[in-house]
Amino acid sequence: MALFSSNRRNEALTELYRRYGSRVFGYFFRMFQGDRDKAQDFVQELFLRILERHHQFDPTKKFSTWMFTIASNMSKTSFRNEPIKLPVEGHEKVYLSDDDQTKNAFQVAMLQAISGLDEVHRSAFILRYMNQLSLKEISEINDIPLGTVKSRLFHATRKMTAALKEFQPNESNMFKLQ
């Protein structure tokens, strides 16, 4: 962010994109239920907003928290303006082994389960478990109490566990010693 103030904006934006581009793409991709084009559009819009609003960044705070706050607000605005109900499809199995097919099936089921969460639970789940943000950071990003973050994560995790129960180990699919 220091490069912005030294009028080296292109260099600054390139470095920020290198560091955070794939993380925010993953966030938007999951928030918009696998819509790759929309996720890419939102990543571009996010970095334009960072460029336009770099002076609003508080250097005593963590950059990723500020960036994900903007991304979260963009998602919320999008959901308010036009609700998205996209089925997760088009995932072709490209693996041949049983293990790889199970992995692919799990990935598809995971995307569907994430898509099944409402927006506030989906956001909390993605920020915590896919972007590895702390509970405090999620609280700051969403401007909600820490207890609310914990509650949302609890409910999201419970829903995800129920949706993915077929992939949980049980006696019938565990190795048995003879």
What does the DSSP 8-state code read for residue 124? H
How far, in Å, CA of 37 to CA of 40, rounded?
Answer: 5
Domain count along the chain: 1
Query: What is the pLDDT at residue 99?
Result: 61
Query: What is the pLDDT at residue 102?
Result: 67
Query: What is the pLDDT at residue 156?
Result: 92
Digitized pLDDT (tens) for each residue of the chain, 178 residues in all: 666 666 777 888 888 899 999 999 999 998 888 889 999 999 999 998 988 888 888 888 888 999 999 999 898 888 776 644 444 444 443 433 556 666 777 778 888 888 889 989 998 999 998 888 899 999 998 889 999 999 999 999 899 888 888 877 654 444 444 3
> Which residue in 132, 36, 27 sits closest to 73, CA to CA?
27
Numbers of helices and strands, H then E, in the chain? 8, 0
The verdict on residue 136 lying in a domain is yes
**Domain range for 64:** 2-168
Angle at 12 between CA 10 and CA 17, to 5 degrees: 95
Which segments of the chain are extended strands (E)? Answer: none
How far, in Å, CA of 49 to CA of 29, rounded?
Answer: 18
The verdict on residue 108 lying in a domain is yes
SS3 30: helix
The verdict on residue 178 lying in a domain is no
- Number of CB atoms found within 10 A of residue 55's CB: 8
Asked if 88 and 35 count as a contact pair (C-beta separation under 8 A), the reply is no
pTM comes to 0.63
The verdict on residue 132 lying in a domain is yes
What is the CATH classification number for the domain harbouring 93?
A: 1.10.10.10
The verdict on residue 150 lying in a domain is yes
In terms of Cβ atoms closer than 10 Å to its own Cβ (0-12, 13-18, 19+), residue 155 is middle
